[in-house]
Chains A and B, each alone.
Chain A
Amino acid sequence: MKSTRREFLKQALGVCAGAGLLSRLPERAFGKEKPWPDLVAVKGASPVQLFEAGIRALGGMGRFVKKGQAVLVKPNIGWSKTPSEAACTNPDLVAKVVAQALRAGAKDVFVFDHSVNVEKECYERSGIEAAVRAAGGKMRSAEKESSYRKVKIPGGKVLAEALVHELYLDCDVVINVPILKNHGGGRMTGCMKNLMGVVWDRRFYHRNGLMECIAEFPLVRKPDLNILDAYLVMTKNGPRGLSTEDLALKKMQLLSADLVLADTAATKVLDMEPGQVPYLKMAADLKLGSMDMDKAKIERVSLGS
C-alpha cells in the first residue's frame, strides 16, 4: 500500500490525538476513582490564579459541569460596594468561574443575587455584572417576587418552607461563590450564609431564628461546588464594612463540594473557632456536611513565593 506523505501525517496526527485523549481520560473511567480532596485550600496569588489552581486540584470544572447543563453561579452581590471594599465577591473570580463553566460545556451560566441594597447599584458597583457579561454569562434579576417559588424544606423545623429563586431550584448545577467576611448577626458569612441570597424573605430568617434558618436551608438543595473567596477578607464590621481598614489581605481561596467543611475551615481564616459560628454545628447535625477537619482530606496549594 502506497502511502503519501499527507496521509502519513494525517494518521500520525490521529494517533497523537488519540493518545492524548486516552491520557486525559480520568482514572475513574476505569473504575478506579481517584480520591479527590474534600477541601482544597489555595494561597498566595490573585483570586483568578487561586481559582485556576484550586479547581485543577479538585479535578477540574468538568467534574462538576457536564455538556449542555444549565449552571447557576451564585456570588455575593449584596452591597453597593466596589471590589476594593471586598463586601462582594471578587468580580474577576466570578467571571473566571463563569468562563470555565462555559468551557466545560454548560449551555447557560446564570448569575444573580438577592441584593440587600438596590440591585442595579450592587450589580454595577461590584463590577460583577460587567465581568459576567464579558465572560458570556447571563445576569438575572432577583428583585421581583415572581422569580421565586415556594418550596418545602425537607426536614426544616424553623424554616419549613421558603420562597426560593427558581434558578436555584431549576439549574442542573449550582456553584456557590461567596466572599468570606465577618458578620455581626451570623458571626461569619461564607458558603452557608451566602445562600440567604437565593431566598425572597430574608426578614423571616431574622425574625424566626437566623442560625436555624441558615443551617436548614441547604436541606432543599446543596450547592454542587463552593468556591470561597478569601483573598481580601473583612475581619470586622461586617458584612457591610465601614472602611478598607476592616480588611485583611489573606490571598486565600477554599474550594469544596462540602459547604460546611469549607465554612469550618474559613472560621480559622477569621481567627475564630468553628464553635463560635452556631449554624455550622446545626448543619453538621443535619448531615449537610462535615465539621471534622481532621478526617477531611485537605489539599493545600501554595502559589507564589
Chain B
Amino acid sequence: MNKRSLLWIRPLVQALFLALSLAVFFGLIQGRPWAALYRSIHLFPSLSHLGWVSLWPFWGVTLLFLFLPLLAGRLYCSWLCPAGFLQDALARIRTRRTNASTPFPLRVFLLFLCVGSLAFGYAAYELLDHFTNLGRLYGIASVPFGRDTALALLFLGCLGAALRRPRWFCNTLCPTGTLSAALQSRAAIRLSISSSCGDCGLCRSLCPADCIRGDSIDHTRCIHCFECWAHCPKGAVRFRPDRPSPKGRAAFLKTASGAVLGLALGPALAKKVLGGEPDAVIPPGGKSVEVFRERCASCLSCVSVCPTKVLTADRRGNVLLDFSRGYCSFDCDACLCSCPTGAISRFPLEAKKRIKIGTSDIDRTLCIPYSKGRDCAACHEVCPVGAVRLQKLGEVSAPIVDPEYCIGCGACQFACPVEPKKAITVTPAKVHGVAFSRNIGSAGSGFPF
C-alpha cells in the first residue's frame, strides 16, 4: 500500500469514529458490547471509573489506551478522537501556522488539577475533557439553558480555535491530550526528521498539529498522525525507535511543579464546586444523590439516550429526572447502559425495575376522586408495579399509594391531569433502596406437605 493512501484513510477513520460517538450518545447502538468497548477507549470518563473501582468488563481496554502512547504515540488523538477530527476539518478550511505552543507545564497543571480533584470526589475533568464536552454539545437541546449549555458553547469555541491554531484545544486544555503527550515523550517508537531533509517545508505547511519547526518535531504537540511521513518527497521523516533528547533539569522542574500545584489545588476545586444539593430525583443506578453528584461528569449521554426525555439537567448542570417532561420507563435501562463514568451503575434490567428512586404521595385536597368525587385513576393506570391501588370511595375509585412497592418512576406524576400542581408527586430518595415486589409469581398459600 502506498504511503500516501494514509492521507485519505485517516480522515475516513476519524469520520467513522465521529459517527460512532453520535451513535453511542444517541443510543443507536444501545446495549451492544462494542458500544461499551467504544466508550472505554476515551481515557477521561473511563479513567474516572478506575477511581471508583467499579467493576466494568472493559476497563482493561482503558488501561490499554492509557499506555498506548508509550508504544506508538498519540494514535487515539490523531485517528480516533471525534473532537480531533472536527478540528482537523476546520483547519482544512483555514488556519494559521505560527508553530505557537502552550507552555507544557501549564498543560500539566491543568491535567493534575483534574487528577487531584478526582481523588477528592469531584470529576473536574468534566470541564476540560473532550468526550464529556462533546456529549454536552450533542445534548444541548435536551437541557434548559444553563451551565451545560455554556460549557458546550465554550467547547465549540475551543474547537473553533483550530481556525487560528491547529489542534489548539488538544494541545492546551485536553487532559487526555496532555496525558498522552507526556507518555509519548517516552514512546518506544517516534517520528523524527533525518538529515536527508531538503527543507522544502511541505510537512510544516501540512502538519495537522503545527508542531514542526525547522527539522525538529515538538513531541509535546505531535499527535502521531503520520501525515509528514506520508507527504515527505525525500522520505526524510522516519518512524523508528528514538532516544528522546534530555530536556534538562529546569524543564523537568517546571513541569513537575505544574503537576504538584495541580494536585494541590484540585481538592480545593472539589470543595468549591460541590455542595448545595438540589432536591431532585436521580437516575436508577445512581445509588445515592451524594455518590452520583461526585461521579457524574454531566456529559449528558444519559440525557441524550433517554427515550421518554425525563432525564435532563438543571441550570447548574445537575443531571436529574424532571417528571413534567416524562417518566422513567419501566422496561428501559438506556441510561444505565450509557454512562461512561460509572455514576450510573449498570444493574441488570430486572434489578433496575425494583430500584427505588423516590416515593409517590397523593395530595387529597387536589386529587380528583377525593376532592371532586369523580373517577380518574390516571395514576393507577400507568403504575408499572401496582403501587397505586384503587379503593372504593362511595361511587368512585380513589387512588392510594403503597410506599413499599413504589419505585418512584414518576409515571403517576406525569399522567396526573391536575394542573398546575400535580395531585400525586414523587419525593426523591436521597439514598436509593429496593422496592418490594407485589406478590406476583406463585408462592401460593399453604404447604406442600
A: which residues have CB within 8 A of B? 80, 116-118, 120-121, 125, 183-186, 202-207, 209-211, 237, 239-240, 242-243, 245, 278
Contacts of A125 in B (CB 8 A): 331
Q: Which of B330, B375, B382, B418 contacts A210 (CB 8 A)?
A: B375
Q: A184-B390, A203-B417, A243-B440 are in contact. Are A121 and B378 (CB under 8 A)?
A: no
B400 CB → nearest A CB, Å: 12
Question: 3 closest A-B pairs (Cβ-Cβ)?
Answer: A185-B377, A203-B417, A207-B417
Residues of B within 8 Å of A240, CB to CB, are 381-384
Residue of B418, B419, B440 touching A242 (CB-CB under 8 A): B440
Contacts of B374 in A (CB 8 A): 209-210
Known contacts A185-B381, A240-B382, A245-B440; decide if A121 and B307 are in contact (CB<8 Å). Answer: yes
Asked whether B380 is an interface residue with its Cβ less than 8 Å from the other chain, the reply is yes
A237→B332 contact, CB < 8 A: no
- B381 to A183, Cβ gap below 8 A? yes
Q: Which residues of the partner chain B approach A185 to less than 8 Å between Cβ atoms?
A: 375-378, 380-381, 390, 397
* A80 touching B418, Cβ below 8 Å: no
A117 / chain B contacts, CB cutoff of 8 Å: 329
Tell me the B residues contacting A by CB distance below 8 Å: 307-308, 329-332, 368, 374-378, 380-386, 390, 397, 415-419, 438, 440-442
Instruction: For the A-B complex with A184-B380, A185-B378, A206-B415 known, give 6 more contacts whose Cβ atoms are closer than 8 Å.
Output: A80-B330, A80-B331, A184-B397, A185-B377, A185-B397, A245-B442
Tell me the bound Cα distance from A249 to B183 in angstroms.
67
* Cα distance, A210 to B395, chains bound together (Å): 13
User: Once the chains are docked, how many angstroms separate the CA of A286 from the CA of B378?
Assistant: 25
Q: Inside 8 A of B441's CB, which chain A residues have their CB? A: 243, 245
Q: Is the CB of A203 within 8 A of B378?
A: yes
Determine if A207 and B368 form an interchain contact, defined as CB atoms under 8 angstroms apart: yes
Count of A-B contacts judged by CB separation below 8 Å:
73
- A-B contacts, 11 of them at CB < 8 A, read A80-B331, A118-B307, A184-B381, A184-B390, A206-B377, A210-B375, A210-B377, A240-B381, A243-B440, A245-B440, A278-B375
Who on chain A is nearest to B440 by CB?
A: A243
Q: Which B residue sits closest to A205, measured CB to CB?
A: B417
Contact A121 B332, beta carbon cutoff 8 Å: yes
Chain A positions within 8 Å of B308 at CB level: 118
Which residues of chain B come closer than 8 Å to A242, judged between CB atoms? 385-386, 438, 440
Quote the shortest CB–CB distance from B425 to chain A (angstroms): 15
Residues of B within 8 A of A206 (CB): 368, 376-378, 415, 417
Query: For the complex, what is the distance from the CA of A280 to the CA of B414, rounded to whole Å?
Result: 28
Which residues of chain A have C-beta atoms less than 8 A from B381's C-beta?
116, 183-185, 239-240
> Is the CB–CB distance between A207 and B376 below 8 Å?
yes
Instruction: Give the residue of A118, A203, A211, A245 whose beta carbon is less than 8 angstroms from that of B329.
Output: A118
A123 to chain B, nearest CB (A): 12
Picked from B329, B377, B416, B440, the residue with its CB within 8 Å of the CB of A184 is B377
Q: Which residue of A lies closest to B438 (CB)?
A: A242
- Known contacts A80-B331, A184-B380, A240-B381: A211-B438 contact under CB 8 Å: no
What B residues does A203 contact at CB under 8 A?
A: 378, 415-417
Contacts of B416 on A, CB cut-off 8 Å? 203
User: Chain B's nearest CB lies how many Å from the CB of A107?
Assistant: 34
Contact of A207 among B307, B383, B418 (CB under 8 A): B418
Considering the complex, give the chain B residue whose CB is closest to the CB of A185: B377
Tell me the bound Cα distance from A183 to B390 in angstroms: 11
Residue ID in chain A nearest B376 by CB atoms: A206
Q: How far is the CA of A211 from the CA of B375 in the complex (A)?
A: 8
**Cα distance, A209 to B375, chains bound together (Å):** 7
Cα distance, A205 to B376, chains bound together (Å): 8
* Alpha-carbon distance between A204 and B440 when the two chains are bound, in angstroms: 33
Most buried by B among A120, A184, A237: A184
Task: Name the residue on A nearest B388 (C-beta).
Answer: A184
Decide: B397 and A204 in contact? CB cutoff 8 A: no
